Amino acid sequence: MRATLIIKNIDNLITLKGKDKPRIKEEMRDIGLIQNGVIALNEAEIIYVGKGELPENITIDDDTIIIDGKGKTVTPGLVDAHTHLVHGGSRENELSMKLKGMEYLDILAAGGGIHSTVKATREATFEQLYSKAKKSLDTMISYGTTTVEAKSGYGIGDFQTEIKQLEVARRLNEDHPVDIISTFMGAHAIPKDYNEDPDKFVDIIINEMIPEVSKRDLAKFCDVFCEKGVFTIEQSRKILLAALENGLIPKIHADEIESLGGAELAAEIGCITADHLIAASDEGIKMMAGKGIIANLLPGTSFNLQAGKFARARKMIEEGVAIALSTDYNPGSCPTENLQLVMSFASLIMKLTPEEVITAVTINGAAALGLEEKIGSLKVGKQGDIVIFDAPNLDYIIYHFGINHTDKVVKKGKVVFS
């Protein structure tokens, strides 16, 4: 078979070969490392992964792109399975408030926080949102991210703005090399007009918004911010059940700040992931393990909220919960597109091993988006999404933190960043 692109002499080829399922416990440390590895693609598809030389049945010609992997570490394309990619404005004005000790939920309750991004997103045109999000995608791909989840949630009461965000994501998915998977998050904050009667807003989400998003095929997932002062457990349950009924896959911002029982609810409903989980209870973690719910952890948010607390990743792994790691890129609680920095936080602060970390941002990240059969590992038949890191080994990427180690990024068999 003809190869259109090959990477050879790879010092450390991290394949993540193994089952196309979320990995748990010691599976998270089995990264399928090949030293002196070689990988061949035919257009978007991986056709060979091995050690040493290519076998004779893989042919090359004058058009084959040949990349030398000497001194490099090669991994599957990184998956960022939790972002608020499309939004207007920025919130650096909150920095001085935070430094004075004002907390995230206080800023929100005072009408700032998410509400100020709602205003900026409503006022932005489609083109303005598109070009801001495109710039973020360019940054993400430069750090090795090849697949991204993008939530709505800055229209809230204004459904047209929610739709505008989802349409921007859809257009970018067509135009930009990064694949974008959309999530409807109308339940991101209670609009000010419904402060007196939040259940009325929940009814609108359930009866009007979710069916319309589903009918127009604008999102694969539905998310809710289940938190003290935002959506209660009962309201979140109703919304996520309505999502299920309408063919949207449920997921949840759970126990980010207060321990409300979000992890337990994720298990009860059968969410694909529960995200954040900084304050998740022992019982919630056990229930998630029992139901195979993926914990999508976002340590950049703990860092930026100055919460002094990180999700109990080691405990989750011990209990058998599969862990994914994402940026949570958004203008308030985590303004960074840099998934490599999140990988360093996960290891240096949450004590995950480099092997667990790379598993969390590849095959488990793919599983967090229901894409584990297509991406997340380097196996024959899978999509050719690959990162070439200018790093002698995996530990180096995590240890030498805060900089960009990407040398080249291959998406669907094409070099899209170098």
Residue 225 binds to ligand NIG (criterion: CB under 6 A):
yes
User: How far is 231 from 57, CA to CA, in rounded Å?
Assistant: 58
Radius of gyration from C-alpha coordinates of the chain: 21
Residue 179 binds to Fe ion (criterion: CB under 5 A):
no
Helical ranges in 89-192 per DSSP H: 94-99, 104-109, 114-123, 126-142, 159-175
Closer CB to ligand NIG, 328 or 385, in the complex:
328
Residue 253 binds to ligand NIG (criterion: CB under 6 A):
yes
Closer CB to Fe ion, 31 or 240, in the complex:
240
Q: Which CA distances in Å does 300 have to 63, 117, 169, 328?
A: 42, 19, 23, 8
Stretch that binds Fe ion, among 124-132, 155-163, 323-331, 401-409 (CB under 5 A): 323-331
Closer CB to ligand NIG, 301 or 383, in the complex:
301
2: left (phi over 0), alpha (psi -120 to 50) or beta: beta
Residue 337 binds to Fe ion (criterion: CB under 5 A):
no
**Residue 135, Cβ neighbours under 10 Å: how many?**
11
Task: Tell me if 259 is assigned to a ligand binding site.
Answer: no
- The interface mask with ligand NIG, positions 99-138, x = CB under 6 A, is --------------xx--x---------------------
Task: Tell me if 48 is assigned to a ligand binding site.
Answer: no
**Residue 200, Cβ neighbours under 10 Å: how many?**
10
**The length of the chain, given as a count of residues:** 418
Selected binder of Fe ion within 162, 255, 328, 355 (CB under 5 A): 328
Residue 338 C-beta: closest distance to ligand NIG, Å: 16
Task: Tell me if 253 is assigned to a ligand binding site.
Answer: yes
Residue 333 binds to ligand NIG (criterion: CB under 6 A):
yes
User: How far is 43 from 414, CA to CA, in rounded Å?
Assistant: 8
Stretch that binds ligand NIG, among 3-11, 328-336, 361-369, 397-405 (CB under 6 A): 328-336
Closer CB to ligand NIG, 17 or 84, in the complex:
84
Selected binder of ligand NIG within 284, 331, 384, 413 (CB under 6 A): 331
At which residue do the structure tokens 């109990």 appear? Answer: 312
User: How far is 379 from 362, CA to CA, in rounded Å?
Assistant: 13
Residue 255 binds to Fe ion (criterion: CB under 5 A):
no
Is 263:277 a contact under the CB 8 Å cutoff?
yes
Residues 6+ apart with CB under 8 A from 312: 277, 280, 285
Closer CB to Fe ion, 276 or 286, in the complex:
276
User: How far is 273 from 267, CA to CA, in rounded Å?
Assistant: 9
Using CB under 6 A as the criterion, which residues of the chain lie in contact with ligand NIG when the complex forms? Answer: 84, 113-114, 117, 225, 253, 256, 301, 328, 330-333
Using CB under 5 A as the criterion, which residues of the chain lie in contact with Fe ion when the complex forms? Answer: 328
Residues flagged as binding site: 82, 84, 91, 154, 188, 253, 256, 328, 330, 332-333
